[in-house]
Amino acid sequence: MAAITLFHGSDHVIKNPTLAQGKDTNDYGKGFYCTLLPEMAKEWACKQNTDGFVNEYRFCNAGLNVLNLLDGEHTVMNWIALLLQHRIFTINDAIAQDAKAYLIDNFSIDTSGYDVVVGYRADDSYFSYAQSFVHNALPLRSLSKALTLGKLGEQTVLVSEKAFGGLEFVKAEPVEKELYYPKFIARDANARQEYRTEIKGSRSYRDDIFVMDIIREEIGNDDPRIQRIVLK
């Protein structure tokens, strides 16, 4: 396929990114996390309230194995299972412990055979929704709806050495925190506000599923009850 343009926000210029620089505790594990949207990258560059840089790359994924979690064949359950596998969750009760193990065993995807992962980015507000779901405090329908709020960022992640062979640095531009840190904060605040008004205002849980239901009824990835809720 034709090359695409990727952007990575950082507090420094990254001309030669490597897989080794990635952190195991990121959303999908070790990798180089990018976006197709330069404005999103600028917000990420200033997320610590410091000036930063948006690094631009030319990327060709021809011949690469791509896992696209947004292709309609995967669901929020696959996303949250990957988060549980890599991100550090607060697990403070037996339900959450059981939920973590069950979701990873039944919904996680082995990414070791892929070169690129495309999926949602779990910024603070969205990560808090995931934690609420794991603690049986948020039903599946609400979790799925939450991911449509606040203009959640989508990311393209290079997760293999082979993928880096298709990445070419183009340029880096400075980003001012005075402009983009407020935008970063506003995006998260907007997501939380929309959640409070559009989701928490609805108290009807009829035909909904909590994580405890998934465990007790041994619901799996292809169960029609999951599909009915997340695809509605």
- pLDDT one digit per residue (tens) for the chain, 232 residues: 568 999 999 999 999 999 998 889 899 999 999 999 999 999 999 999 999 999 999 999 899 999 999 888 888 899 999 999 998 888 888 999 999 999 999 999 999 999 999 998 877 777 888 888 999 988 888 888 777 665 567 899 999 999 999 999 999 999 999 999 999 888 878 777 777 776 666 656 667 899 999 999 999 988 888 877 776 5
Residue 42 CA to residue 93 CA, distance in Å, equals: 38
Q: Where are the extended beta strands (E) located within the chain? A: 4-10, 32-34, 52-59, 66-68, 116-120, 154-158, 167-175
Residue 189 CA to residue 65 CA, distance in Å, equals: 35
Amino acid 151: pLDDT: 54
Strands 4-10 and 52-59: antiparallel
Q: Global pTM?
A: 0.89
Amino acid 107: pLDDT: 94
Amino acid 7: pLDDT: 97
List b or e across 88-110, with b for residues whose CB sees 16 or more CB atoms inside 10 angstroms. Answer: ebebeeebbebbbebbeebbbbe
pLDDT in tens, 118-172: 998 877 777 888 888 999 988 888 888 777 665 567 899 999 999 999 999 999 9
